[in-house]
Structure 1
Amino acid sequence: MGLAVLFVFALLYAQTINGFTVELIHPNSLSNPNRNPSNSQFHWIRLAYNHTRSRAASIQRRLSGGGSAKFKTDIKSDGGGYIMKYSIGTPPFETYGIADTGSDVTWTQCQPCTDCFPQSLPVFDPKHSKSYKAASCDSDACALVGSSAGECSNGNVCQYQLTYGDNSQSVGDVATDTLTIGDSSFKNVVIGCGHQNSGTFSGNASGIVGLGNSDISIVKQLDKDVGGKFAYCLSSQPDSKSHISFGKDAIVKGTGAVSTPFSVSPAQSTFYYLSLESISVGGQSFPLKKSVSSNVGGRRAGIKETSVNGNIIIDSGTTLTIIPSDTFDSLKSELMKQIPETPIDDPQGAFGLCYSTSDKIEVPKIVAHFSGADVELSPRGSFLEIEEGISCFTLVQNSDFDLSIFGNLSEVDYLVGYDLEAQTVTFKPTDCSKY
């Protein structure tokens, strides 16, 4: 989640596609097939806060070189991710996964489920797919996920293991099958078929749709068809439409579009690093450190310590934006100066700056100043109602870890386009319900 595309192995059939777009489902939408109707409308943001912190800790461990299992990533399928509908197999079997730029592996729960988390929809059964093929341990598909660790099954089937920050895990077979997104189908896409998926999953989705930067992600696997381009438009409103596009549909340009380069770590190519130079509140600017720690990539055997030209990861699978504590304190102090109402405490002590919604606060202009791109945060994403009558600032401090993440609430009401060939991320203010 480098840039070299490994599909000289002809794992895909080339097609001519003009681009395609499908809807994304807000995590708190009634359209989410696994949303628990008994939960309050604020339950999801509380989950998302906890998920943001555990995910950040997991990513930091990964960047520090923790663990070496084959096909391994630190992602938690719960809380705050936008859901993408897609299909696997022949005939197509409809399923849902979190659209995640912080993950590479596309996986779903599979029968037989020796240990699966509850989901309201049927679980994919590979026996019913004519195009499903388990990957042997000497196959190109298995090589794509890495061969430095892990063991084959007794039947010579390549295995994967996903581990999570809370000690949850997904274990299953590496396989190839037909992937259908909207009206477009792609043969022989490498996926994970999870038979043991334990831990604190809530069933918000059946798995993950990997949109990261390494070769196992679907963006790289479909490179001949989509040209390394995808874009999403996230609405802050649960009942409003969000979308994700690939290929020509994902070219972001026109009035208001601004672009910033991304970089990747040679040791961990999953993540898209941006250079966030400063954040301003009503014209008062507060700088950030220019680059991440020089030990990003960690000390894993055979991997030298490396640096990366960037100081924040943009991550659609993380809800809140995490920034350094000193920057957060400066922003909080400035917001309190510019917002005349009196702050109140979050009853659960999680969010650092809150106001009563009865005061109808006017949020000053908050701008993220990336290298070459100024992105004004949508007020609907920078302050959010977390309980009845209480609205809180959705940027939080990284007091427990040395990592910054630009989360999806800071990306709402923008068309956000990734171009893996140009290595840029482009932001364009957009009404996502009309995109």
Structure 2
Amino acid sequence: MGIDKQNMTVIIDTGSELTWVQYEPCMTCYNQQGPVFKPSTSSSYQSVSCNSSTCCENNPSTCNYVVNYGDGSYTNGDLGVESLSFGGVLVSNFVFGCGRNNKGLFGGVSGLMGLGRSILSLVSQTNATFGGVFSYCLPTTEAGASGSLVMGNESSVFKNVTPISYTRMLPNPQLSNFYILNLTGMDVGGVALQAPGFGSGGILIDSGTVITRLPSPVYKALKAEFLKQLWFPFSTSVFNFGYLFQSHRV
């Protein structure tokens, strides 16, 4: 970030709109592995004032933001404008959050990259450069594995064995900031689930969420078929889930 290129490591979140990083001076911040962003040392950083069209608050000096996540994590601070170097491409006048009160399971990274569909997301702010298109490849859990994030419609960087498949997204005015797909069906071990709820309502694609949430009829059908096919012994649930299993392999 910035003309002086302070390196930041962030979580990629398709369900969030605002990109933010911890910054100094910080009031309440979690332990971060790398250096914290320092606006005072960046010649290209500017704060967003309250009379800016980006801000709707009444603070006479700076524009504040507050973001609360579903797991209880949160961040709040001031909006700022900075130059963003992204894969060799310089993005000017990028609006982001300077987090001065942050708490949550962020894994010691600098902050979070918002890839949602709102006006403040990275995708929207870089629309003129990348066309509002991005793709990402998640890494495996093996040591040394790495994924990738590609801004723009260049798909040749992915070494796919099979052709890339596409599916249409569903419009939803009440959830316009999210990416929504049509859940048409599920199967367990090749057995198709029979349940009402498929093909209606849609399902969110959220890279920042670790738990899949399903309509109750679909969840019950999934659980029943899963229990029918799985032979692992039960274990004590510590996360208030319905079932855990003992296994040395998956």
Which TM-score band (shorter chain)? 0.7 to 0.9
Q: Does 1:333 align with 2:237?
A: no
Residue 210 of structure 1 corresponds to 114
Residue 305 of structure 1 corresponds to none
Identity %: 35
Q: Does 1:137 align with 2:50?
A: yes
Q: Distance in 1 between matches of 2:70 and 2:133?
A: 30
Alignment match of 1:344 (pick from 234, 241, 250)? 234
Q: Which amino acid aligns with 1:286?
A: Q
Q: Does 1:109 align with 2:22?
A: yes
Map 1:107-256; keep pairs closer than 5 Å: 107-142=20-55, 147=56, 150-152=57-59, 154-155=60-61, 157-165=62-70, 168-197=73-102, 199-239=103-143, 240-250=145-155, 255-256=162-163
TM-score normalised by the chain length of structure 2: 0.86
Residue 54 of structure 1 corresponds to none
SS across alignment from 1:322: coil
Contact 2:197 2:217 in 1 (8 A): no
Contact 1:108 1:207 in 2 (8 A): yes
Contact 2:12 2:207 in 1 (8 A): yes
Distance 1:241 1:202, change over 3 A: closer
Distance 1:106 1:166, change over 3 A: same
Map 1:359-378; keep pairs closer than 5 Å: none
SS across alignment from 1:289: coil
SS across alignment from 2:187: strand
Contact 2:134 2:149 in 1 (8 A): yes
Contact 1:118 1:202 in 2 (8 A): no
Higher-strand-fraction structure: 1
Alignment match of 1:284 (pick from 172, 181, 192)? 192
Contact 1:106 1:209 in 2 (8 A): yes
The aligned length equals: 246
Q: Distance in 2 between matches of 1:349 and 1:92?
A: 41
Q: Distance in 2 between matches of 1:332 and 1:317?
A: 24
TM-score normalised by the chain length of structure 1: 0.51
Contact 1:264 1:271 in 2 (8 A): no
SS across alignment from 2:185: strand
SS across alignment from 1:232: strand
SS across alignment from 1:259: coil
Q: Which amino acid aligns with 1:227?
A: G
Residue 206 of structure 2 corresponds to 315
Contact 2:235 2:246 in 1 (8 A): no
SS across alignment from 1:333: helix
Q: Distance in 2 between matches of 1:290 and 1:329?
A: 13
User: How much does 1:140 deviate?
Assistant: 3.6
Alignment match of 2:5 (pick from 92, 103, 111)? 92
Q: Distance in 2 between matches of 1:168 and 1:320?
A: 15
Alignment match of 2:179 (pick from 272, 284, 297)? 272
Question: How large is the Cα RMSD of the aligned pairs?
Answer: 2.6
Map 1:387-398; keep pairs closer than 5 Å: 389=248, 391=250
Q: Which amino acid aligns with 1:115?
A: T
User: How much does 1:326 deviate?
Assistant: 2.7
Q: Which amino acid aligns with 2:187?
A: S
Q: Distance in 1 between matches of 2:27 and 2:227?
A: 52
Q: Which amino acid aligns with 2:15?
A: G
SS across alignment from 2:153: helix
SS across alignment from 1:323: coil
Q: Deviations over 1:152-181 (max 9, x none)?
A: 2x42x2221222446553222211111112
Q: Distance in 1 between matches of 2:66 and 2:239?
A: 35
Residue 257 of structure 1 corresponds to 164
Q: Which amino acid aligns with 2:26?
A: C
Q: Which amino acid aligns with 2:51?
A: D
Distance 1:269 1:250, change over 3 A: farther
Q: Which amino acid aligns with 1:159?
A: N
Contact 2:181 2:203 in 1 (8 A): yes
Q: Distance in 1 between matches of 2:210 and 2:73?
A: 20
Q: Which amino acid aligns with 2:7?
A: E
User: How much does 1:94 deviate?
Assistant: 0.6
Q: Any unmatched runs of 5+ in structure 1?
A: 1-87, 293-309, 358-388, 392-435
Higher-helix-fraction structure: 1
Q: Which amino acid aligns with 2:36?
A: V
Contact 1:343 1:353 in 2 (8 A): no
Contact 2:12 2:114 in 1 (8 A): yes
SS across alignment from 2:226: helix
